[in-house]
């Protein structure tokens, strides 16, 4: 069975924003969907988040897929860095992902060391990065990193801000379409 892990961002939680809708839509299509509550989302640290994600996923395989939002994206990338030589996953969707602390000291632990792009690229062959043209936090230039470093398909949405519940984004069809595309399922 194909498993999809939906990873929220800083100050997020499983029931926030579009995650409940996406979970329901994927379950209708017979996916096993896990939406973990990441530890201490108001004061996140990579050590706690990465350990938690490793425990939640268990044994990764090519039927494991990930959808990250905001800080959840770098958490997924750090997770891919942690995989053993023979471990791979099927695909990753990065929603409003970024590659620096965005000027927030609270996020520094996620970026203390450089991102191991080459290593990540060997763990997954299917990346899609989704950004908004009016995100107040994450500039569109971050999509360039994902395209250059991971060969990610880039999707730019209009007027979706940061894709969060605060922005009243309760459905995200582009995320569903992206998961179905990389898992080769029909809508």
User: How far is CA 97 from its chain centroid?
Assistant: 7
* Segment 135-156, tens digit of pLDDT: 999 999 999 999 999 999 999 9
Instruction: Please state the rounded mean pLDDT for residues 169-178.
Output: 98
- Structural domain tally of the chain? 1
- The tokens describing 60, both together, are 């990764």
Instruction: Please state the rounded mean pLDDT for residues 166-185.
Output: 94
* Mean pLDDT, all residues of the chain: 96
Pure H helices in 83-116: none
- The tokens describing 19, both together, are 């995650």
Instruction: Please state the rounded mean pLDDT for residues 102-123.
Output: 97
Kindly provide the b/e burial profile for residues 112-150, where b requires at least 16 CB atoms within 10 angstroms of the residue's own CB. Answer: eeebeeeebeebbebbbbbbbeebebbeeebbebbeebb
Instruction: Please state the rounded mean pLDDT for residues 4-23.
Output: 97
Q: What integer pLDDT is reported at residue 184 of this predicted model?
A: 87
Task: Kindly report the CATH number assigned to the domain that includes residue 30.
Answer: 3.40.50.1820
Residue 23 backbone dihedrals phi, psi, to 5 degrees = -60, -50
- The tokens describing 84, both together, are 């053993």
Q: Which domain holds residue 83?
A: 3-183
User: In a 10 Å sphere around its CB, with 0-12 CB exposed, 13-18 middle and 19+ buried, how is residue 81 labelled?
Assistant: middle
* Segment 29-67, tens digit of pLDDT: 999 999 999 999 999 999 999 999 999 999 999 999 999
Question: What is the percent of the chain with per-residue pLDDT over 70, rounded to a whole number?
Answer: 98
Up-side HSE of residue 96: CA atoms within 13 Å toward CB? 26
Q: Nearest CA to 61 among 83, 76, 28, 36?
A: 83
Query: 186 pLDDT exceeds 80?
Result: no
Query: 187 pLDDT exceeds 50?
Result: no
**Collapsing DSSP states into helix, strand and coil, what is residue 62?**
coil
Model pTM score: 0.97
């Amino acid at each position: 069975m194909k498993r999809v892990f939906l990873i929220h961002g800083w100050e997020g939680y499983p029931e926030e924003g579009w995650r409940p809708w996406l979970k329901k839509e994927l379950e209708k299509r017979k996916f096993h969907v896990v939406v973990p509550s990441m530890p201490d989302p108001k004061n996140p640290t990579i050590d706690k988040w990465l350990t938690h994600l490793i425990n939640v996923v268990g044994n990764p395989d090519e039927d494991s897929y990930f959808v990250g939002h905001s800080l959840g994206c770098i958490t997924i990338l750090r997770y891919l860095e942690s995989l053993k030589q023979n471990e791979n996953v099927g695909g990753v969707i990065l929603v409003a992902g970024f590659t620096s602390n965005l000027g927030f000291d609270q996020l520094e632990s996620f970026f203390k060391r450089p991102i191991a792009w080459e290593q990540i690229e060997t763990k997954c062959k299917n990346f899609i990065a989704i950004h908004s043209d009016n995100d107040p936090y994450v500039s569109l230039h971050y999509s360039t990193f994902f395209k250059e470093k991971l060969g990610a398909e880039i999707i730019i949405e209009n007027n979706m801000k940061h894709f969060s519940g605060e922005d009243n984004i309760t459905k995200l069809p582009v995320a569903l379409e992206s998961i179905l595309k990389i898992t080769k399922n029909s809508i």
